[in-house]
Amino acid sequence: MLSHDDIKQMRRDGYVTFETDIIEKTTLEVANSIGIPATWTNLSKVQSLRPRLRTTVEKSSYSGLYGLDAFPMHTDMAHWWHPPRYILLRCIHAENNVSTHVLKADVIFSTEYPAIRRAAFRPRRPVEGKFFIIHLQEKNFVRWDDVFLEPLGGTSLRIKNKIRDRISEATPQKIFLDKPGKCILIDNWNALHGRSSVNDLQSNRHVERTYLEKITGDTDETEHS
Amino acid sequence: MKPNIHEWSRDSYFSKAQLYAEEMEKFEDADWQFGLWSSLLLENLVRASVAHISPALVADNHEWANILYALGAQPKKSKFVPKTAAITDVVTRAEEVCAEFTREHANFCINHFARRNGEVHSGSLAFSNISVSSWLPNFYAVCNVLLKFINESLDSLFGEEISLRALDDIEALQDETAKSIKGTIHAHQVIWESKAENDKEDARAQAAAANLRHYGHRTTCPACRSTALIHGKAAMPAKQSIVEDGIIERQVMKPESFSCVSCGLKFSGYSKMLAAGLGDSFTSTSHYDAVEYFQVDIDRHIRNLMDDDNNEY
């Protein structure tokens, strides 16, 4: 279970890091020990992330779009109606020169409210066969993806360009998953994350990812209505 | 986590209403497109209000599979196409579930949707055939009631600028004292009709000479039918467009005062203008040449052209 200070840090910074024993516990066991893992029919509970060349992956994923280049700042599943609340990344095989970047969303979004609540976007591609309208800032969370979300109309295009400029001017926190078992837990509703570029020679980097709906001991029980 | 949202959910309908509000904003009040988008927006808002209780209330209940679909299940019936209830039925349901949504509001909605049908299903320009002030304040009033019901606001739907204007319109609509202007108009009409025909002709001629276009917006006096003037205030930021010989600036004005030189009828305040049937906004158009508009100093420009090269100090 995360400590009170860990949860407080996550609220403040949008993430927290902690160590786990890579032998004693699987990633799913770690997730179960700190909260409630999220499940979805078409997604495995734990995903294996390794740097891959752009040419070897379909364009519907970040590896397919960016390959070994830096991943731009984004929130996971931004094109979903209800994105996962937390992302747990756990180092399986470390590479010291690759960093995970985290940026608290309120730095970027706060001055645009309420115009941002009216700016309409849609997923780039249909989700389960349908398009629907979503907003970058919902009542209690934000979403951002420069590729997977398309603006509908002039207001949303202006907002998108503003947010993109702000992100490029911001300085994210850089976290190195530099030893096996080291974890970073990111608040996917209130923080953006990205990844530095990966040198070809370092393509043994291996991280496992799982999503969580809730963190045990977290009294912030706001839900996406 | 959930990839999708039900298309009959309150959030889906409200997001659609926001999108249509943005489309509405691209046009001026008097444009037929403004009226058409308003009717599409209103339909989504009415549906959002009943979906706020349950998406099942949006379903066409003649076939129970629609209710099952509304509740998130996929009916097994082959070639099933989900169907929502007719908007007239949804308005009736809104009247049941929303205490503040009165019969008067419901009647306005039905009439507004009938205008939309006229626009879509016939060759007539249904929204050009009526004055905007005869429906826009009521439209905002209905939107306000429904938005409060679903825990939203005029601001979250229209943005700050338009929501302030909407609140003004709603206040004007609710101003019962303004309706006394009808009595004032009637009194002036009686006095006018008692005048000799010669006197009426002289007064009309005076009014035509005094009420030139650049003194205000010309209209017909409701008491004596002579040419009269309306003055207004800016309703929203001016829009500029570049033309061959300069810049045209169009400013939508909200009527604020009326005066008639012929019969002496005068009054001010938007609520009275509305009650008198003179509430339509009007556009004030100004032409500027480019030099004047951008305040170019021509003399300085010419002096710069005449300076010697390499003139460094």
Segment A144-173 shows an average pLDDT of 93
- Whether A153 has a pLDDT exceeding 80, the answer reads yes
**SS3 at position A45:** coil
**CB distance B9 to B51 below 8 Å:** yes
Question: What is the predicted ipTM?
Answer: 0.84
**Confidence at residue A26, expressed as pLDDT on a 0 to 100 scale:** 94
**Confidence at residue B34, expressed as pLDDT on a 0 to 100 scale:** 95
**SS3 at position B261:** coil
Give the distance from CA A136 to its chain's centroid: 14
**Confidence at residue B291, expressed as pLDDT on a 0 to 100 scale:** 75
Reference B3, options A77, A72, A101; nearest CA is: A77
Can you say whether residue B125 is alpha, beta or left, with left for phi > 0 and alpha for psi between -120 and 50 degrees? beta
- Whether A111 has a pLDDT exceeding 70, the answer reads no
Q: Which residue from A83, A114, A115 is facing B1, i.e. has the nearest CB?
A: A83
**Confidence at residue B213, expressed as pLDDT on a 0 to 100 scale:** 65
Pick the more confident residue, A68 or A10: A10
Chain B CB contacts of A77 under 8 Å are 1, 3
Inter-chain CB proximity A132 and B4 less than 8 Å: yes
- Whether A223 has a pLDDT exceeding 60, the answer reads no
pTM (2 d.p.):
0.85
- Whether A225 has a pLDDT exceeding 50, the answer reads no
**Over the stretch A162-199, which tens digit does the pLDDT of each residue have?**
999 999 999 999 999 989 999 999 999 999 999 988 87
Residue A74 pairs in a beta bridge with A193
Q: Which residue from B1, B3, B159 is facing A128, i.e. has the nearest CB?
A: B3
Closest residue of chain A to B14, computed from CA coordinates: A133
* Chain A residue set in contact with B, beta carbons under 8 Å: 38, 40, 77, 80-85, 114-115, 117-118, 120, 127-128, 130, 132-135, 152-155, 211, 213, 225
For chain B, list residues with pLDDT below 50: none
Give the distance from CA B222 to its chain's centroid: 22
Inter-chain CB proximity B18 and A118 less than 8 Å: yes
Query: Residue A129: which H helix or E strand, with range?
Result: none
**Confidence at residue B208, expressed as pLDDT on a 0 to 100 scale:** 78
CA distance B74 to B80: 9
- Whether A115 has a pLDDT exceeding 50, the answer reads yes
